[in-house]
Structure formats: structure tokens, C-alpha cells
A and B are shown apart, each in its own frame.
Chain A
Amino acid sequence: MSEGTNIPSDRRYTAEHEWALVDGDKVVVGITDFAQHELGDVVYVELPAIGSRVTAMKEFGAVESVKSASDLYSPVTGEVVARNAELTDHPEWVNESPYERGWMIHVRPDDVAEVEGLLDADGYRQLVDA
């Protein structure tokens, strides 16, 4: 049951528990509250360099908890224009604030309409409830 999990309605979601938030001409990407809770204490986040290309549904990095590592999948295809370097010193922000301070990358999408094809908040809630 997902009662306790936060799923903001201002963004879209992937089946792999990433979120995508359109902000002007870029898309902000991170992992969901459900994902951070499943992972446990995040200790390291591996993110791509600025300027690298990411492809929708392909892995762009990894997030490590004490017990295991999980791949991160990009919601959209495009170019990485920012990465959250503060997560090196504060990986716990992914747990404490997965939708705000725990953001991971900004992508300049090849086609911003790609975001429309992702799950909305209701769709994602149904996924985690299943």
C-alpha cells in the first residue's frame, strides 16, 4: 500500500521510479519517495558528466545504498546540462528530499513532448500499489 508515499502531481514518472519535471526548456530528473524508501540509506550517487547524452529508458547512472546498487534510467532522451554535485557530500538528500534537494540531473530534451508519454501521478500510484 502506498498511503505513506509522496507522489507530487506536478511531475511525471517512469515505471523504474524516476520522476521528470519540466522546468522551462529542461527536464529535472530524480528518484521517487517510494524508491528512496525501498533503497534505504543512500551513500553514493553516480551521475553522468555535463554534456553527455542520455537516452530514454536507458541507464544514466547508479544510486548506492549500504546494501546494494540500483541503476538509474533516464525518462527522456537529450543532453545533460546540469548534475547535482552536492550529492557527493550529501547523498542523504536523496532520502530526505527526493523531489527537491535530492534532484539528480537536468536534461535538455531532444523532444520535450516525450515527457507526456510518461505516467502521471495517478498512474504511478497505481503502479506502486500493485
Chain B
Amino acid sequence: MSDPLLRTPLADRHEALGAKMAPFGGWHMPIQYSGIVAEHLHTRTSAGLFDLSHMGRLQITGPGATDLVQQATTNDAARLSPGAAQYSLICNEQGGVIEDLVVYRLEDGWRLIVNASNRVRVVAHLGELRERGAIDATLQDDTFDLALLGIQGPESEAILQPMVDVDLPSLRYYHAVDGRMREGNTPVTVSRTGYTGEDGFELMLSSTAALKIWDRLLEDPRVKATGLGARDTLRLEAGMPLYGHELNEDVSPYEAGLKRVVRLDKGKFVGSNALAAQSDGEPARRLVGIDFDSGAVPRAEFPVNQNGKPVGQVTSGTFSPSLKHPIAMAYVASTAAAPGAELTVTIRGSEAPARVVKLPFVPHKTKR
């Protein structure tokens, strides 16, 4: 018998709202409430409220904590001061991507926020590295003790500010701060991060407090409950990768366009030898954005062709609610990857015309 699905602290709320639920990464999650397109557009114009409690939250502390983080990840965590965060990757020895994550420097340690589907694997990987290197560090999994909510969209700061004692205008992008919710004076970690390309915040707080804050936020007419369906269309418009689609162990960070988060100069990390060997040349294939004028929707694994010859495969595709036409990300041969290159995607036996465009499809509005 397979493991039963995990429920976040807000599962009852989603069901009470009549959300369409589905399994995701081992969790029972809301895919949509009122509809993916409506929730997506509302996030881009006002504010969407997301339950992100399925994401893995890990803490690493102890004298060897920085060492462990630096050995496991590709980006240079030493550049972070307390309160700052960075997007990073965990690779295997061959330089293939095991995980993409956000690394936060705490006052005395590190927090890693990882994909729900990879949490168990990342914990095992870090444990192995710690044992192998006899690193003096403690690994703690906070996933089941703390809820995580996201509020994303141009109205997020105005909506959230009266509810927290943290000065939001001075909280920079990819930074986090500990504070308190005014209601109940409950502790909360507020980070200015997200997966939509909009300004917004992620709140980490106790499950009981999360229920109150969820209810309070939904009382505000500017806020709409938003599910994983819209989370996917938002991140795809923003050109952001999703592990299992754009990223997997057969993909190198260089192919995925993530050279900027591979810091070979920081010292050795798992995969650094393999990545050093790759870093000079051009990758044979690259992740690109593909645009369609209209018509059928490209989906993962659909073939991509140029002049009748196969050049790659779609990794994610959808109908873009903001642009009102289909969009996709795909790995294609570098020779076919220049913006403007004319391609086709095979959709139900027909070749749908498309062209390579620069990512993101929709410009980011995050506060720099």
C-alpha cells in the first residue's frame, strides 16, 4: 500500500471553499478554487493567496552548517549576510540537477526551502554528506511544524503591512526578517520571495496562526485563494523552471540557463568537478521559451521540430492567461535556440508553428 497523502494545516479550508483537490508531491493540494484563469489574472492585478505548506523547510545549524551548505549547493552561500537568501541548486556527482531550492542565511544557521517532491531525498543527501565528511552540523525538518503561506501580486504589500510589525517597504527582494503578526502577536518569518514574477511575500508561521491569517486575508476583497493550477501558469509566464519538468538529473545547470547560480570559484561542492569540465563549452542543447500565435496547447514531452527535423522536446506548456495564447518551455539543440528561430511542435499529429522567444514571457515586477 502506498503512503497516504499528507494534509497541510489548511486542507480543511480548501475543501470548505470547494477547491478541486489533487495529489502533488505526496500532499493533498488545491488545484483551483474559482478557476485557474481567474485566479491567475487576479494574482497579476491584485493579490493571490497560496497555501505553500507542502514545501519542505529544513534548518541546518552547528559549527559545520556553512560547510555543509556550501558542499551541497552550487551557489555561493558565503555571499549572504543574515536575512539574505539566494536561489541555488543541488547537483549529483555528474553535475545533474537533483533539486532547485532557496537558501536563507539565518542569524545562527541556514534555512533551505525545497520542493515537496524532493524533501525526503534532500534530507537523505544532506545526511549522507554530513556523515561522509564528519561535519558537525544538525539537520532539522520543520515542514510539519510550521505552515507557509504566499501572498503574491501588486497589492500584496498594502494588504499585508497592517497585519505585521515588520516594515515591508524596506524588506528587499530575496530577504527575510523575523517579526510578529499583530493579531495574536504570533511570531512570523516574512520573506520577500515568490514563484510568480510579481512582488509578494511568503509567511512562515505556526499552523494555528496560519489558519487565522488565512481567514483574515480572505476577508480582504483584494485577496483571492489561488491554487497550484494558477501557480504553474504564473511561474511558466515568468520563465521559472519546475523540478521534474525543466530540471532533473539528466539536465546540467548550463543547459537550463542557470550558469549564474553555479559558483565554481567558491570551492568544491558535489558535482563541481563535472561542472568545471562543462563550463567552458557551449551546451549542446538549451532551455528556451516558445511562443505560439494561437491554437492548440503544447504539453510536456511533445516533440519540437525545425524544418521537419526533430530538435528537442517541450518541458512545460500551457495557455498563458495574461498573453492569451499558448506558451511553452523546451530543450532544443543550441543551433535552433536563437530568439526568433522558427520551430514547430507536434500536437495531436499536426505541426503547430512557433518561434523561440527570450524568457520571461511576462516581465517580472519583483522589487529590486
- Of all chain B residues, which has the CB nearest A92? B37
Residue B273 lies at the interface, judged by CB distance under 8 Å to chain A = no
- Of all chain B residues, which has the CB nearest A43? B319
A-B CB contact pairs (8 Å), 22 listed: A40-B20, A40-B32, A40-B229, A43-B37, A43-B319, A43-B326, A44-B295, A44-B326, A46-B348, A62-B296, A64-B296, A64-B297, A64-B319, A66-B36, A66-B233, A66-B318, A66-B321, A67-B36, A67-B318, A69-B296, A69-B348, A88-B294
Compute how far the CA of A69 lies from the CA of B355 in the bound complex, rounded to whole angstroms. Answer: 22
Of A41, A66, A68, A88, the most chain B CB neighbours within 10 A belong to A66
B321 proximity list for chain A (CB < 8 A): 66
Quick check: A41 and B37 within 8 Å, CB to CB? yes
Q: Given contacts A40-B36, A66-B321, A69-B299, could you give 13 more A-B pairs where the C-beta distance is less than 8 Å?
A: A41-B35, A41-B38, A44-B295, A44-B297, A44-B326, A46-B348, A62-B296, A62-B348, A64-B319, A66-B229, A67-B318, A69-B296, A69-B348
B33 CB to closest chain A CB (Å) equals 11
- Of all chain A residues, which has the CB nearest B233? A66
Quick check: A67 and B296 within 8 Å, CB to CB? no
A58 CB to closest chain B CB (Å) equals 14
Chain A, range 71-101, C-beta contacts under 8 Å to B: 88
Quick check: B229 and A46 within 8 Å, CB to CB? no
Q: A40-B229, A43-B319, A46-B348 are in contact. Are A69 and B36 (CB under 8 A)?
A: no
B234 CB to closest chain A CB (Å) equals 11
B31 proximity list for chain A (CB < 8 A): 67
Compute how far the CA of A66 lies from the CA of B295 in the bound complex, rounded to whole angstroms. Answer: 13
Compute how far the CA of A46 lies from the CA of B294 in the bound complex, rounded to whole angstroms. Answer: 12
- Of all chain A residues, which has the CB nearest B295? A44
Which B residues have a C-beta under 8 Å from some C-beta of A? 20, 31-32, 35-38, 229, 233, 294-297, 299, 318-319, 321, 326, 348
Compute how far the CA of A88 lies from the CA of B324 in the bound complex, rounded to whole angstroms. Answer: 12
Compute how far the CA of A69 lies from the CA of B348 in the bound complex, rounded to whole angstroms. Answer: 10
Quick check: A46 and B296 within 8 Å, CB to CB? yes
Compute how far the CA of A97 lies from the CA of B20 in the bound complex, rounded to whole angstroms. Answer: 21
B182 CB to closest chain A CB (Å) equals 37
Compute how far the CA of A94 lies from the CA of B348 in the bound complex, rounded to whole angstroms. Answer: 21
A25 CB to closest chain B CB (Å) equals 31
Compute how far the CA of A70 lies from the CA of B33 in the bound complex, rounded to whole angstroms. Answer: 21
Contacting A41 at CB < 8 Å: which of B36, B294, B295, B296?
A: B36
Chain A, range 27-61, C-beta contacts under 8 Å to B: 40-41, 43-44, 46
- Of all chain A residues, which has the CB nearest B321? A66
Quick check: B35 and A44 within 8 Å, CB to CB? no
Quick check: B319 and A44 within 8 Å, CB to CB? yes
- Of all chain B residues, which has the CB nearest A38? B20
Quick check: B296 and A66 within 8 Å, CB to CB? no
Of A44, A46, A62, the most chain B CB neighbours within 10 A belong to A44
B38 proximity list for chain A (CB < 8 A): 41
Q: Chain A, 1-44, contact with B by CB distance < 8 Å: what is the 0/1 string?
A: 00000000000000000000000000000000000000011011
Q: A40-B229, A43-B319, A44-B319 are in contact. Are A66 and B37 (CB under 8 A)?
A: yes
Compute how far the CA of A88 lies from the CA of B319 in the bound complex, rounded to whole angstroms. Answer: 13
A69 proximity list for chain B (CB < 8 A): 296-297, 299, 348
